[in-house]
């Protein structure tokens, strides 16, 4: 079927309309006419994939990655970096408009590195080949490289034949010192040649949570702070952008502040805040991340922190502290209703909301604006060329 593309949805898919149904089309850009085949049909929408671009947009170009069309991970591989940012901004503006929040100026912070920025990738292994599942499916796409990964990870991918795994999955993490953690899941124990250790800085090899080589963690140094990062713990995947976010939000906090850091991970923001505020209280569901955060505070001689393990919605109401400001960096699902309720009834002066999912961010902002005013909104391109963005909103308690 042929379609004319009106705009993009928050997943970076083209939108067209057919009678009373919305049509989402993967691989299409606004203004294009495309031929597409149906993937999925629901009551109120249908999902298609573009099979032929009949009238290409002026912004379309040859993808920078030879695997992008099949892999599907880099949604905007077929446009320039500058245009990818404009598309992402338009998606955020559209989400805000549909939720009655359209009169907000959006700033954009581009990534210093457009490729070679990602310090963690997760790959599938099939028939001793590495690859990704095609976007939205379990169809295996073998790859020879991943151009958005850090150079140390790309170099390892060139030597992946030094590791023997028939079927399974591998996550590769790297720090700024080019050290690598290999986290492998498979039924059979992986084998690796000594050459792997000789050619690469292997910090550790973990198989089904069992450490086969060296350590199940490494250290990352950023902004004169040292972070212990365990294999399973969350850490910012683009440290250049993470540092920019920290630089932008720290001026919101003062020496006298008591701050909640909700969904604190290994304490990335907690430690930076602890250097300038009175006290930081972090909450995180991952127990190993909390162990890392506690260790990291001690490692950096920061004594004004405390960390609590558990669901934020369960721990938050039990804490005896009275924070003046709150930093939230939730998973893609956004804030639980119980967390929103606490924020709306506690009269906290300021909330800094960092989100990796604009859809749930806008949903939560709409609720929070019952009591808070949105003072700023900034789009950080944490994930260049992909459909994902990081957005940071600053909210202040409304004056009565």
Residues in the chain with pLDDT values less than 50 = none
Contacts (Cβ under 8 Å, ≥6 apart) of 269: 246, 249, 261, 327, 329
| Tens of pLDDT, residues 139-153 | 999 999 999 999 999
Distance CA 69, CA 74 (A): 8
Model pLDDT, residue 115: 97
Model pLDDT, residue 229: 96
Cβ–Cβ < 8 Å for 25, 17? no
In which residue are the tokens 């929408």 written? 45
Distance CA 231, CA 208 (A): 11
At the top level of CATH, the class of 120-218 is mainly beta
Distance CA 218, CA 137 (A): 33
Model pLDDT, residue 224: 95
Give me the active site residues, please: 356
In SS3 terms, the chain reads as CEEECCEECCCCCEEEEECCEEEEEECCCCCCEEEEEEEEECCCEEEEEEEEEEECCCCCCCCCCCCHHHHCCCCCCCCCHHHHHHHHHHHHHHHHHHCCCCCCCEEEECCCCCCCCECEEEEEEECCEEEEECCCCCCEEECCCCCCECHHHHHHHHCHHHEECCEEEEEEEECCCCEEEEEEECCCCCEECHHHHHHCEEEEEEECCEEEEECCEEEEEECCEEEEEECCCCCCCCHHHHHHHHHHHHHHCCCCCEEEEECCCCCHHHHHHHCCCCEEEEEECCHHHHHHHHHHHHHCCCCCEEEEECCHHHHHHHCCCCCCEEEECCCCCCCCHHHHHHHHHCCCCEEEEEECCHHHHHHHHHHHCCCEEEEEEEEECCCCCCCCCEEEEEEEECCC
Cβ–Cβ < 8 Å for 318, 309? no
Model pLDDT, residue 275: 98
Model pLDDT, residue 202: 98
Distance CA 219, CA 221 (A): 7
pTM, two decimals, is 0.94
Distance CA 256, CA 126 (A): 55
Give ranges for CATH 2.40.50.140 in the chain.
1-60
Model pLDDT, residue 50: 94
Model pLDDT, residue 47: 93
CATH superfamily entry for domain 1-60:
Nucleic acid-binding proteins (2.40.50.140)
Give ranges for CATH 2.40.50.1070 in the chain.
120-218
Model pLDDT, residue 103: 82
Model pLDDT, residue 293: 97
Model pLDDT, residue 176: 95
């Amino acid at each position: 079927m042929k379609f004319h593309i009106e705009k993009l949805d928050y997943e970076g898919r083209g939108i067209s309309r057919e009678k009373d149904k919305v049509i989402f089309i993967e691989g299409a850009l606004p203004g294009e006419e495309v031929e597409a085949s149906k993937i999925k049909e629901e009551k109120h929408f249908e999902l298609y994939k573009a099979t032929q671009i009949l009238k290409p947009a002026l912004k379309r170009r040859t993808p920078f990655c030879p695997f992008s069309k099949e892999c599907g991970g880099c949604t905007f591989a077929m446009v320039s970096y500058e245009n990818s940012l404009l598309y992402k901004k338009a998606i955020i503006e559209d989400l805000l408009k549909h939720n009655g929040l359209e009169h907000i100026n959006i700033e954009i912070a581009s990534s210093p590195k457009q490729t070679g920025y990602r310090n963690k990738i997760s790959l599938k292994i099939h028939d001793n080949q590495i690859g990704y599942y095609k976007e939205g499916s379990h169809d295996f796409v073998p790859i020879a490289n991943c151009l958005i990964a850090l150079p140390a990870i790309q170099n390892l991918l060139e030597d992946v034949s030094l590791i023997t795994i028939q079927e399974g999955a591998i996550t590769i993490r790297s720090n700024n010192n080019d050290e690598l953690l290999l986290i492998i899941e498979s039924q059979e124990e992986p084998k690796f040649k000594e050459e792997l250790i000789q050619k690469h800085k292997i910090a550790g090899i973990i198989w089904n949570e069992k450490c086969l080589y060296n350590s199940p963690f490494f250290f990352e140094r950023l902004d004169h702070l040292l972070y212990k990062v365990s294999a399973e713990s969350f850490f910012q995947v683009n440290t250049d952008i993470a540092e920019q976010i920290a630089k932008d939000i720290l001026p919101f906090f003062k020496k006298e502040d008591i701050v909640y850091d909700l969904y604190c991970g290994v304490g990335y923001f907690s430690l930076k805040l602890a250097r300038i505020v009175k006290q930081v209280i972090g909450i995180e569901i991952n127990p190993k991340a909390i162990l890392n955060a506690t260790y990291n505070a001690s490692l950096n001689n920061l004594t004004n922190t405390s960390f609590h393990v558990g669901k934020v919605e369960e721990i938050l109401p039990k804490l005896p502290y009275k924070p003046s400001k709150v930093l939230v960096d939730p998973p893609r699902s956004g804030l639980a209703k119980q967390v929103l309720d606490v924020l709306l009834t506690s009269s906290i002066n300021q909330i800094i909301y960092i989100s990796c999912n604009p859809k749930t961010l806008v949903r939560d902002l709409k609720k929070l604006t019952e009591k808070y005013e949105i003072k700023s909104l900034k789009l950080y391109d944490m994930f260049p060329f992909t459909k994902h963005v990081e957005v940071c909103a600053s909210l202040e308690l409304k004056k009565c």
